[in-house]
Amino acid sequence: MNFETLLFEIENGIAIITVNRPEKLNALNKDVFTDLDDAISEVLNNEQIKSALITGAGSKAFVAGADISEFGGLNLAEAMALSKRGQDIFLKIENSPKPIVAAVNGFALGGGCELAMACHFRLCSDNAKFGQPEVNLGLIPGYGGTQRLTQLVGKGKSMELQMTGSLIDATEAFRLGLVNHVTTSENLIQKTKEILLLIQTKAPLAVGKIIECVNISVISDSTFTNGKTGYEKEIEAFGECFGTEDMKEGTTAFLEKRKAVFVGR
């Protein structure tokens, strides 16, 4: 697929999505949102795609935030619509049944940190920097950051990071649980691909149900929970796994002491 602001390629079932505005440190403008929305739809709908990796072009930034140059003159309704647009796209990422992982290769600030946090988990390079510096602009995070940062690092640290606008480095992000792995810039994409390829050897329906159940434990938006608690959703999803070919294959393969071959049904 061709996008104006993204690079999009498929390699071994992994969609590699690269936000491609390096001259603006990959800041999220309207066009990036349109392209990202379409790219995630492609991930969801294209059967060749089993998982996705999101990163930023260049060596300096993953995404340095929402494009501040588009903020001028927005009224209340327009600003709320922008927030809703960002939240909707990031919820689409978070609720994808196919794994979507962020490979954070530099600054992940504001909307960039929020994009990374919407992914199912994150790896970063050792030069990465994370933060929600919106308060420096007289703003707050608007693409789900107040919620997801709190879920990931806890209330106290989330409050401090948002109220001070301070940036943290990769070591601190790892210590706080914001990222799962820190590696060199050179190794970041390869390491992320290795994890996705490992996940791709597992039963896809089970992976999708894990995403759904884990998300319900933290998502407060009832559109995505159908009024169910995470425990109720887990019971339902666990039961549904028993109707799949992959569950029969997985359990049979274990008993036959061979490696399971999953088909996604």
Residues lying near ligand COA in the complex (CB under 6 A): 24-25, 27, 64-69, 107, 109-111, 133-134, 137
Measured between alpha carbons, how far is residue 150 from residues 86, 157, 169, 245 in Å?
Answer: 18, 8, 18, 38
Which residue among the candidates 94, 114, 212, 234 is catalytic per the annotation?
114
Minimum gap (Å) between residue 64 Cβ and ligand COA? 4
The CA-based dihedral angle spanning residues 248, 211, 56, 185, taken in that order and rounded to the nearest 10 degrees: -70
Give min distance, CB of 4 to ligand COA, in A: 17
Cβ proximity to ligand COA: between 69 and 75 the closer is: 69
Alpha helices in the chain (DSSP H): 30-45, 76-94, 111-118, 145-153, 155-164, 170-176, 185-200, 204-218, 230-241, 245-255
In the complex with ligand COA, the residue whose CB is nearer, 89 or 216, is 89
Least Å distance, CB 134 to ligand COA, is 5
Residue with Cβ nearer ligand COA (54 or 213): 54
Q: Annotated catalytic, 114?
A: yes
Q: By C-alpha distance, which of 32, 123, 228, 147 is closest to 132?
A: 147
- Considering beta carbons, is residue 14 or 32 the nearer one to ligand COA? 32
* 178 CB-near residues (< 8 Å, 6+ apart): 117, 122, 130, 152, 153, 168
Q: What's the distance, CA 124 to chain centroid?
A: 13
- Other beta carbons within 10 angstroms of residue 43's beta carbon come to 24
Rounded to a whole number of angstroms, the minimum distance from the CB of residue 81 to ligand COA is 16
Question: Is beta strand 129-131 parallel, antiparallel or unpaired with respect to 168-169?
Answer: antiparallel
Which CB sits closer to ligand COA, 110 or 204? 110
Q: Which of 11, 70, 134, 194 is catalytic?
A: 134
Q: Let me know if 234 is a catalytic residue.
A: no
* Min separation Cβ 109 and ligand COA, Å: 4
Using DSSP, state whether 73 is helix, strand or coil.
coil
Active site residues: 114, 134
